[in-house]
Structure 1
Amino acid sequence: MPQAYDTIVVGLGSAGTTAASTLAKAGRRVLALEAQDRIGGRVKTVKCGDGFVEEGAEWIHGTEDSRVYQAAMNNNITVLPQDLDMEVYRSDGSAVNRELMEDLISFCLERVGKPPDEPPMKLGNFITSRLMEYIKEKYPHLVDDKKFLKEFLDLVNLFVNNYEASNDWNDVSAQSRYEELGGHQHMSWHRYGYKTFFEILLNTYNNGPGLPNLDIKLNTEVTQIKWPRDTTGNVEVVCKDGSTYTASNVIVTLSLGVLKERIKMFRPPLPEQKITAIEEMSMGVMDKIIFKFDEPWWHDRALFYIFIWDIKDRENVAKDDYWITRIFAASNPLGSRNVLTLWTSGDVAKMIETLPENEVKSKCMQLLRRFMGRNHTIPEPVEMIRSTWFSNPFTRGSYSYDNLLTPQKPNLREDLASPLLDSAGSPRVLFAGEATNSVHFSTVHGAAETGYREAMRLLPSSKV
């Protein structure tokens, strides 16, 4: 007979690892099943250059009431604030007035997450209207510069898409319920790597002994979850390799993208309300293309290099190469001195994942030389890594965002989070993950909050 567990956790990203470790520390017998060959989910720390790079989540967003930041502090780990100082280049290689661009970009990004009082608006329309008011007041000479305004708004659209993982800023609701944590928004794990958060959770940091009550099985893809409506049966979790595991309950931490694809894996089927939530919420894509060089060739002081396309230059890009115009920036991560990360999102990110390695590499190097070659001698990279969050069958995207349905259907995330109960009202199938967090979605700390939330649903009297 297979061993019975108190709880099975499906997925070992931030939510699943938090849930599993919280329950195990409270004395519960926990089995964690992870389809991939590693722990971390949409956090993926990779050795590169003279340190580490992050294919997925890069920063701790905020320090106040953050389970992630607190984990670092509790273990005397110094995380570093990364100030995103900018240098802005045009597609003819010339530099742009840095103070002006930093001011305008900061103004636009500060509007994100500050919903307007008026009726529901698309985020792009909202930011544009506020920006025009600001320009009239502070930079009246730009009001009639239609060319500059068009080029700048195209750039900010890409900026916002990277924050939201959206394809276009007008796919996102200005009435988003997202809330920032207090404190610095870009804290870096630098040479430790984000993987350290998971080592802390699992008690393996600094050669810790782990958690004796927690069994972990990697490369174990779950294909079906059978749950009892009555009070006597166990939950059965069936895996692709033919194995079956039983427990009193299961915490499902699959991404929204995977739930959309595998909505029929539950027996009996999910209730209509939850199916609606899964179908109507949006999962976005944000991808990175990471280049390692023998030595850094860029300025140390600028951490973010922004690319702004001239309208005519953009129009002259070959149709097949359109995707390079959607890579809006390059940055040097704090985890590795000789690495540059290029950023893109949405449908173009999905498409780049399918292109041949050599094509991505050569076109991206052309892009860097076009924008930065006038001021830098740019060598060939010695290595390229690119994220594939959409084509990965176990993520199917990067993180969720509040789409245009949010104002009319504000409870979709709560519906996704609600557990499936048996006839006595006991939770049998519980749901965690960033998409189930009403206000801190799209973040590692938000995912961790939901893992803790569901663990505590099963530990109502515990002081963990």
Structure 2
Amino acid sequence: MTGYVNASDKSDFGVYVASYESKSRALALQINQKLLKVPAISRGGRGKVLIIGAGASGIAAACRLLERGFRNVTILEAQNRIGGRVHTVKFADNVIELGAEWVHGEHGNVSHKLAAPYNLLESSKALNDTSTYIFIDSQGNHIPKTESTQLLDLYHDIHSKLSENIKKFRGSYGEYFSTKYHGALGENPITDPIRASQFLEWIHRYENIIECSDSWYDTSAQGLTEYHTCPGDPLLNWKGKGYKTLFDLLMCRYAGTSKALPVREKIQFNKVVSNIDYNSMNEIIVKTEDNSHYVADHVICTASLGVLKAQHKTLFTPPLPEIKQSTIQGLNIGTVDKIFLEFPYTWWPDGTAGFNLIWSQEDKNEFLQSFGQENKWLTEFFHISTVDHQPRVLSGWLTGPTARYMENLPDAVVVEGFYKILQKFLSGTYNVPRPLNMMRSSWHKNKHFRGCYSFRSLESDRLNVWAKNLAEPITGSNDKPVILFGGEATHEHYYSTVHGAIETGFREADRLSNYYRERKCHL
């Protein structure tokens, strides 16, 4: 034997060497990964990402991840639609918004930035004009325009100076505003004390719509300094196309946009997450109520604050860190519901923004004596607005415990009750026909939301917790983001808004993108 191999043996030897080298590289990679305790990098240099929720934050996160080269992205959505708390539905002559309705502001607002190139937004001019609101008392009398306008101007004046005057105030927003309100009326008595008190109660209820609180005595005055407004028109509607248009813009599916992102193909509907197990920081196991199991390197959770409050103790294994549990306890979320009535024709004056109902305590008592305590919820009606691009529709607003009570009533009871209130306040001036159809929201009753949008409470003051605490990811070795959190409640300054939710989706997608870019630099 010469020690050489013949030609026929060379190919077998080459296969053996190649196989040996391949196994050696694989073994080295496995050892390296165990030492680093990080997931393997898939083709394209990105890990497997699971997004919980196909609302504004979840869709935004998926879009940004796909743009940044992530391919292994899955969205688990509990319902059979995308949008979350954006919910556009067909009704009457056009569409209505059961959830978010307006784009608030222009400059620095990502929703406006997406829509502006296509001229998709317009001002809800009537709603911005205080003179177009009709105030009526519970005797059916129109409150003089001069009086209501002066009181509204006082309201807006106090509100406009919040940021400069509230910084050192310790207590609730209700305490702050009431003090300022009575102080201003003491210097300039616009109206009599009884009317002033009734109007303050109306402002209280209206502010509960804005803050999504049960009471402004629950809302932190100090916490309001965290919220930032976007300059520009605060009430921009979608010209009858609906807020759902925003998702086509995000996914580049709107006419004239660039190549569509394959986000819809990544969504699995009717997947209710029951547990997120991150005991192994390298392999997160997500279980759903239909007994499906998913494994991921990273999970972006965009569940609403209401869901986190109700379920975080069973949703996460192991339990969330103490600071997160305290933040979920401290931040709050309330209920704002809308009831839409379609009429056979428009019976209110052209250009009317809506009707504001001013109750006296005597009239409330008389109403309850006539119709019973079970109709107490009707005495909480205070604001009825017209609806853009819906000439035959009015929208009634309810908040807090009253809204939650209404959600559990039969449709027929709600329609009849709303009509009863219209008759009481408006039949002396207008011929109010019976409504043809009704549709309403039920955000608290829906277990996938348990409320509408977040606010800063006195409890968050007491615990000294803020959105940034909720936004902080849970990390593993080498600062690997394991569980990431998105959604409007995690935004420090734009909480309670759609544009805030979108920004948090982008933020968490960028966090993952930056993580992999930095890893690549160290390899």
Could you state the TM-score of these two structures normalised by the residue count of structure 2? 0.83
Given candidates 135, 140, 144, the residue that maps to 1:97 is 144
Instruction: Give the 5 Å matches for 1:398-417.
Output: 398-417=452-471
CA distance in 2, matches of 1:406, 1:103: 35
Given candidates 178, 194, 198, the residue that maps to 2:227 is 178
Whether the 8 Å CA contact 1:255–1:433 is kept in 2: the answer is yes
Report deviation, 1:410: 4.4
Whether the 8 Å CA contact 1:5–1:246 is kept in 2: the answer is no
Whether 1:52 and 2:95 are equivalent positions in the alignment is yes
Given candidates 28, 34, 50, the residue that maps to 1:8 is 50
CA distance in 2, matches of 1:109, 1:168: 19
Report deviation, 1:71: 0.9
Whether 1:238 and 2:280 are equivalent positions in the alignment is no
Q: Is the partner of 1:192 in helix, strand or coil?
A: coil
Given candidates 194, 215, 225, the residue that maps to 2:266 is 215
Given candidates 223, 236, 249, the residue that maps to 1:187 is 236
Q: Which amino acid aligns with 2:303?
A: L
Report deviation, 1:228: 4.7
Whether 1:336 and 2:390 are equivalent positions in the alignment is yes
CA distance in 2, matches of 1:461, 1:268: 23
Q: Is the partner of 1:163 in helix, strand or coil?
A: helix
Deviation digits for residues 255-286 of structure 1, max 9, x if unmatched?
00001111121122211111111122211100
More helix by share: 2
CA distance in 2, matches of 1:141, 1:59: 32
Report deviation, 1:63: 0.8
Whether the 8 Å CA contact 1:190–1:333 is kept in 2: the answer is no
CA distance in 2, matches of 1:412, 1:262: 20
How well do the aligned residues superpose, as a CA RMSD in angstroms? Answer: 2.1
Deviation digits for residues 277-317 of structure 1, max 9, x if unmatched?
11222111000011111222111211121110122101222
CA distance in 1, matches of 2:360, 2:384: 18
> Counterpart of 1:37?
80
Indicate the larger mover: 387-396 or 278-287.
278-287
Report deviation, 1:446: 1.1
Indicate the larger mover: 115-124 or 67-76.
115-124
Listed as ranges, the gaps of 5+ residues in structure 1 are none
Report deviation, 1:78: 3.5
Deviation digits for residues 239-265 of structure 1, max 9, x if unmatched?
112222222211100000001111121
Whether the 8 Å CA contact 1:160–1:169 is kept in 2: the answer is yes
Whether the 8 Å CA contact 1:82–1:188 is kept in 2: the answer is no
Indicate how the Cα distance of structure 1 residues 217 and 117 shifts in structure 2: closer, same or farther if over 3 A, else same.
closer
Whether 1:159 and 2:206 are equivalent positions in the alignment is yes
Q: Which amino acid aligns with 1:28?
A: F
Given candidates 443, 454, 459, the residue that maps to 2:508 is 454
Instruction: Give the 5 Å matches for 1:65-464.
Output: 65-84=108-127, 85-109=132-156, 111-112=158-159, 113-114=162-163, 116-138=166-188, 140=189, 142=191, 145-175=192-222, 176=224, 177-206=226-255, 210-212=260-262, 215-230=266-281, 233-263=282-312, 264-318=314-368, 319-460=373-514
Deviation digits for residues 169-228 of structure 1, max 9, x if unmatched?
111112222121111111111311000001211233239774236511111111111225
Structure of greater Rg = 2
Indicate how the Cα distance of structure 1 residues 5 and 106 shifts in structure 2: closer, same or farther if over 3 A, else same.
farther
Report deviation, 1:373: 1.5
Indicate the larger mover: 186-195 or 315-324.
315-324
Whether the 8 Å CA contact 2:50–2:296 is kept in 1: the answer is yes
> Counterpart of 1:27?
69
Indicate how the Cα distance of structure 1 residues 5 and 238 shifts in structure 2: closer, same or farther if over 3 A, else same.
farther
CA distance in 2, matches of 1:203, 1:219: 24
Q: Which one has more relative contact order, counting CA pairs under 8 Å at least 6 apart?
A: 1
Q: Which amino acid aligns with 1:8?
A: L
> Counterpart of 2:25?
none
CA distance in 2, matches of 1:353, 1:199: 30
Report deviation, 1:110: 5.0
CA distance in 2, matches of 1:13, 1:141: 45
CA distance in 1, matches of 2:339, 2:181: 30
Listed as ranges, the gaps of 5+ residues in structure 2 are 1-41, 518-523
Could you state the TM-score of these two structures normalised by the residue count of structure 1? 0.93
Indicate how the Cα distance of structure 1 residues 111 and 37 shifts in structure 2: closer, same or farther if over 3 A, else same.
farther
Aligned residues: 456
Q: Which amino acid aligns with 2:179?
A: S
CA distance in 2, matches of 1:237, 1:111: 48
CA distance in 1, matches of 2:206, 2:287: 42
Q: Which amino acid aligns with 2:48?
A: D
CA distance in 2, matches of 1:200, 1:222: 27
Whether the 8 Å CA contact 1:52–1:190 is kept in 2: the answer is no
Q: Which amino acid aligns with 1:190?
A: K
The share of aligned pairs that are identical, in percent, is 33
